[in-house]
Amino acid sequence: MAIGITALGAYAPDRVLTNAELERMLDTTDEWIVSRTGIRERHISADDEFASTMGVRAVHDLVRRVPNALEGVDLVVCATSSPDALFPSTAALVAGEVGLAGVGAFDLSCACSGFVYACASAQGFIAGGIAKKVLVIGAETLSKIVDWSDRGSCILFGDGAGAAILEEVPEGYGFRSVVLGADSAGGPSLYMRAVADRIPGVERMSDKTGMNGREVFKFAVRVLGDSGQQALDKAGLTSGQVDWLIPHQANSRIIDAARQRFGIPEEKVVVNVERYGNTSTASIPLALCEALDDGRIRDGDELLLVAFGGGLSWSASCLRWYTPKQEGLA
């Protein structure tokens, strides 16, 4: 059975926060931010926008592109690090708003690796016969949880959402490999507090997020290369056969280091971090949608998705893109 993505949608809030505005809020400069991250602006959710409301708007965009996309959906999986609530799940909240009340729905939490993790979960449910068609969502309102006094971290993050339909596709298309990993030993380098006030390696957590940028950078460069190569090996592909590298949009220097490790030319990498910042679980679907809309990704293209996140976690997947002949996605 081949399983792939047959519809995509995305949403980013209207409010754009530029580096120039951050210069007035923090002891930082546009030059400092751009040189270290590649980020020039990010989208910020309104007071009444949350992961669920943005997820709903991403689904609406998906339906705009493929009107019958939600027909037959029997499971909703939402990857998020900033859920509206611990329960009800953000997935259930979105399902109720888009006409899918009553189908199975749950949230998945592994930070920025979450969209690929959620796609892997959907594949398992479909291959196991538990579901036939799964709505996968990545939605984040990170601006509501970051410490806006911490100039080392708040400059990185933005808000957004993406949605995808996973179902059976013709043989030869779809996901060809999946690699998932996590190592809590790296947890002290990147975490977000919830109920506990300590985790192994951290005597007392900060009130919101904690990040060791230097350690995360080193980890990200290594794990993107390692997991991406493992995904290629499992799919029987070489980096030279990759049409598009779709990395998690965290930092342009991390993306470039990973690209160089694969030997993939710049023109084959989808990068939009300068306009969105790090949107965590939303970053890969946002990048995919953008590349579909401008015609870069075409039917049959070989994609390599790679991501890393807090926890520390990582994920990678090879996907041969399928464009349903009767609909089209862009």
Residue-wise pLDDT tens digits, 227-274: 999 999 999 999 999 999 999 999 999 999 989 988 999 999 999 999
**Could you tell me the two tokens for 23?**
């210069």
195 lies in the same domain as 159: no
pTM of the model: 0.93
The catalytic position among 78, 110, 251, 278 is 278
Catalytic residue among 110, 112, 289, 318: 112
In a domain, 330, yes or no: no
User: 213 and 93, same structural domain?
Assistant: no
Query: Catalytic residue among 43, 78, 154, 248, which?
Result: 248
Annotated catalytic residue 60: no
Average pLDDT, the chain: 91
Domain containing residue 10: CATH number: 3.40.47.10
Same domain, yes or no: 119 and 250 = no
Beta strand pairing call for 302-309 and 313-320:
antiparallel
The answer as to whether 124 is a domain residue is yes
Question: Does the active-site annotation cover 43?
Answer: no
Q: Of 118, 147, 169, which closes a domain?
A: 169
Residue 140 sits in the same domain as residue 160:
yes
Split into its structural domains, the chain has a count of: 2
Exposure b/e, 289-309, CB count within 10 A at least 16 = b: bbbbeeebbeeebbbbbbbbb
Distance CA 194, CA 142 (A): 14
Exposed / middle / buried, residue 215 (Cβ in 10 Å: 0-12, 13-18, 19+):
middle
Tell me if residue 112 is catalytic.
Answer: yes
* Within-domain flag for 327: no
**Residue 290 neighbours by CB under 8 Å, 6+ apart:** 10, 270, 272
Q: Does the residue 328 lie in any domain? A: no
Is the per-residue pLDDT at 72 higher than 70?
Answer: yes
- The DSSP bridge pattern shows strands 159-169 and 174-182 to be unpaired
Predicted confidence (pLDDT) at residue 330 exceeds the cutoff of 50: no
Task: Quote the CA–CA distance of 3 and 321 in Å, as a whole number.
Answer: 11
Are 58 and 35 in contact by the 8 Å Cβ rule? The answer is no
Q: In DSSP terms, which residues pair with 179 in a beta bridge?
A: 316
Q: Domain end: 127, 154, 169, which one? A: 169
> Hunting for tokens 């196991």 — which residue is that?
128
Q: Which domain, by its residues, includes 35?
A: 2-169
